[in-house]
Structure 1
Amino acid sequence: MRQRVMRVAVVAVLVALVLLATPLALGIQTSFFADERDELERTALAAAVHVPPFVVGGHVELPPHERGIDVGVYDLSGRLRNGSGPRTADAVARAARKGLVVRGRGDHRLVVAVPLSTREQVIGTVRASSSTAEVWRRIVLAWLGLAGIALVALTTAVAVARRQARTLSAPLEALSAKAGAVADGDLTARAEGSAIAEIDRVARTQNTMVEHLTRWLEHERHFSSNASHQLRTALAGLQLGLEAAATGPDAEQRAAVTEALDQVRHLQRTVDEVLRLARATPRPGVPTTVRPATEVVEGVERRWHGTFATGGRRLGVDVEPGARGLSIPDRAAEQILDVLLDNALRHGRGTVRVTVRETGGAAAAMDVSDEGSLKLGGRAVFERGATTSRGGSGIGLTLARELAEAAGGRLTLARSEPTTFTLLLPATEPPPSDG
């Protein structure tokens, strides 16, 4: 910004100097030539006044005059009687015989001729001339002086522009630095006031925005922390009760309780993840833990098998041979698959199948398909508030896509009929075993 302010100021001064100096330089030129002609006319008139009447062959005396000016007296025949100048009268001197003061140029000189008369009768002319080179020399000296003044003005303008640029840009640079600190997560950064009213107003607006943002974030974090804490407390009591029931003698009861405990443990991990995200800002693409994809989908199948069976639906899981050795972010994968299976159970039809396959790169693909169809497009289905059928909240698929992106993956709608969602997650292969 400093360079821009200086550039604008310097250009403005240059334009002003050009607009002012050009007519001034032309005025100097015109004035100097006019002054020189006036000086020649005064010299010629003074000589005409002091020259006594003369007759043919008489001697003519000229008064002293300024150096550099040629003064000559010519009779009516055009012969030079005294002084300096051409031997015969030129056109300017001849024109003065009519009793008029004549100005003109000739042979790179300025010429002025005045009539010489006695008893109201013209008896000759007085011619005064000077070199135009001397006039131009004075004009060039004046122009150099004008250029020096313009240079001083331009230098002063640059200094003032630089000072003004610092004055204008310093508060904006400080404001930008504070905004960058807020963007980096420092919500305690506050912009300072400045002497410029407009920038000061922007700084106050930014501080107000950051304060509101801080309060909203604190509110969200406190809400997540409180909700997670309360859920953990209730889950802890439920888990203790189920563990006590699982030690009973009834085998069927133990199996049911064991399955319920698995569900509680999964919910406990979900709550722990929510609490972790509430306490610190997560870094996208950095998963917390990884497990083999086979273990993840088998655990998901165990949790959802009974739910699908109760609803008269089938759930199948297929892990292709190339994907059996891949490890994926387990918590993100579990939560996303839970959302997709819940969506398939509520809004889909027929058999639901989860297929894990290798993509050929450092990623694993999981396809969740059912026998239903979607009317929404590939982008609209993930928009918050968009629902695949009546009774939906329009949040689940949006949340699943955000979880996938936070884990460094991607969730897309592969096909609308039959409905198929594809989840891509970063995958790692286990190190080769020795021997």
Structure 2
Amino acid sequence: MRQRVVRVALTAALVAVVLLAVPLALVIRSSLYADQRDTLERAALSGAVRVSPDYSTGDPVELAAPPAGGRLGVYDPQSRLRAGSGPRTGDAAVRRALEAEVVRSHSGGDLVVTVPVSHAEHVIGAVRASSPAAAVRNRVLAAWAVLAGACALALAVAVLIARRQARRLAAPLEALSRHSQAVTAGNLGARAAPSSIAEIDQVARTHNEMLHSLTELLRHERDFTANASHQLRTPLTGLQLTLEAGLGRDDDAGKRDALAEALATTRRLHGTIEEVLRLSRSRGLTHSAAPDTRVPRLLQEIEERWHGPLARDGRRLECEIYDAPGDVRVPGTPVSEILGVLVDNARVHGRGTVRLGVRDLNDALAFDVGDEGIVQGEVARLFDRGHTGDGRGTGIGLALARDLAVSLGGRLSLSSGHPATFTLLVPVRQDGIEEDDEATAGSG
């Protein structure tokens, strides 16, 4: 690109120089020749004034000095040189001057100007002034040499400026190319730096916006995979254990109970997948459109879901509604997923009894999930994806729960480090739709 910019600038400068220099050279040549002829004419007129009417009878003519390097002479009507210097016999220019005409011409490599000498309305002679044309030609060539030098200097300056501008134009594009190569090599955090050129800056901004969109898309795809894997791991394990237990029973009633529990787990898995998909599509920025569920029913589902896993670890789960009205509804599936993440977090990282309490805050409900353990690690990074305080787990659960809470217009925070307690704030709705099971029963 740099060479192309230099070539374009040099071509433009060369065209401008040619368009300017050629007419200027012609003007210089014409002006110098015209000046020399004017000088010769002035010398001839000055000599004509000094010619006496009696010069033909022997009265001497006192001519002024001829032009530098030239000659000045007086000719009688018979074209004979009577005074001064010049050809002994007048040439065509002298003969034309004797016919009462001022003549400017070339003769024998000289510039010649002849003027008639008049007396009593009669031409009594002619004055001829001449100078070598080579002298004027040398002056023209010298002026043209100066002009050519000025043109060469102008072209050199144009090349320097063009190269400087080419570097200025090419530098941000080369930087953008290096940035693209870095992105190709896997550095998705690279961003094109701004320059002082508006058009290139626009390209860089568009490139950065495109890269940001692609990076966000890849991040959400990775988050979706991690979220789905995290949320499905425990239910799938429970489903496997339930089916294995059902296969080990001989009575039909036990198998039916196992199948019913497996079916309920499958429904929860379906809801989990739908919620993770919704969060991935909405990028955590829109409120959930999940069916509303009354708080008592929600806590009952949480207890049924997590009583077994905690009991197998020799731990208890206590659920209690302190002062929340029974008709208050919250988005069932996302809130259930968030509370499931918090209970599972307490199961894996905590100890002792896990307590889930609900408090009424007028325009919101506070769900407190705590245990008898202590929060380990950096509290400020507790909700960072991939961060685990005690080295166990994937560091995905709390980050997912926080994103789900934001998607509801709520908030998830650590309210106490000892004992470890997390608080979920959820906006409430008292005019929502009926519970899922009631809606299903009504439609049946």
Question: What's 2:10 paired with?
Answer: 10
Larger-Rg structure? 2
Determine whether 1:176 maps to 2:180. no
**One-letter code of the match for 2:153?**
V
C-alpha distance in 1 between matches for 2:51 and 2:65? 11
Question: What's 2:227 paired with?
Answer: 226
Residues 325-336 of structure 1 aligned to structure 2 (within 5 Å): none
State the Cα deviation string for residues 179-208 of structure 1 (Å, max 9, x = none). Answer: 222222211111111211111122222222
State the Cα deviation string for residues 107-145 of structure 1 (Å, max 9, x = none). Answer: 111111101122332111001111111111000000000
1:44 offset after TM fit, Å? 0.4
Question: What's 1:38 paired with?
Answer: 38
Residues 36-435 of structure 1 aligned to structure 2 (within 5 Å): 36-53=36-53, 54-237=55-238
Aligned residues of 1:78 and 1:89 also touching (Cα < 8 A): yes
C-alpha distance in 2 between matches for 1:79 and 1:104? 19
C-alpha distance in 1 between matches for 2:36 and 2:64? 19
236-245 vs 83-92, which deviates more? 236-245
1:61 offset after TM fit, Å? 2.4
Aligned residues of 1:51 and 1:63 also touching (Cα < 8 A): no
C-alpha distance in 1 between matches for 2:245 and 2:174? 64
Aligned residues of 2:67 and 2:131 also touching (Cα < 8 A): no
Question: What's 1:379 paired with?
Answer: none
Aligned residues of 1:112 and 1:127 also touching (Cα < 8 A): yes
Aligned residues of 2:79 and 2:89 also touching (Cα < 8 A): yes
- Structure 1 unaligned regions, length at least 5: 250-435
C-alpha distance in 2 between matches for 1:70 and 1:244? 136
Aligned residues of 1:74 and 1:81 also touching (Cα < 8 A): yes
Q: Give the secondary structure class of the aligned counterpart of 2:115.
A: strand
Aligned residues of 1:52 and 1:61 also touching (Cα < 8 A): no
C-alpha distance in 1 between matches for 2:66 and 2:9? 51
State the Cα deviation string for residues 330-378 of structure 1 (Å, max 9, x = none). Answer: xxxxxxxxxxxxxxxxxxxxxxxxxxxxxxxxxxxxxxxxxxxxxxxxx
- Structure 2 unaligned regions, length at least 5: 251-444
Aligned residues of 2:56 and 2:76 also touching (Cα < 8 A): no
State the Cα deviation string for residues 220-274 of structure 1 (Å, max 9, x = none). Answer: 011112223344444544556677899999xxxxxxxxxxxxxxxxxxxxxxxxx
Determine whether 1:29 maps to 2:15. no
How many residue pairs get aligned? The number is 251
**One-letter code of the match for 1:190?**
R
CA RMSD of aligned residues (A): 2.4
Aligned residues of 2:71 and 2:131 also touching (Cα < 8 A): yes
C-alpha distance in 2 between matches for 1:242 and 1:100? 132
Aligned residues of 2:66 and 2:129 also touching (Cα < 8 A): no
| Structure 1 residue ranges, 4+ long, deviating more than 6 angstroms after superposition | 241-249
Aligned residues of 2:39 and 2:67 also touching (Cα < 8 A): no
C-alpha distance in 1 between matches for 2:2 and 2:245? 74
Q: Give the secondary structure class of the aligned counterpart of 2:83.
A: strand
C-alpha distance in 2 between matches for 1:117 and 1:26? 37
**One-letter code of the match for 1:7?**
R
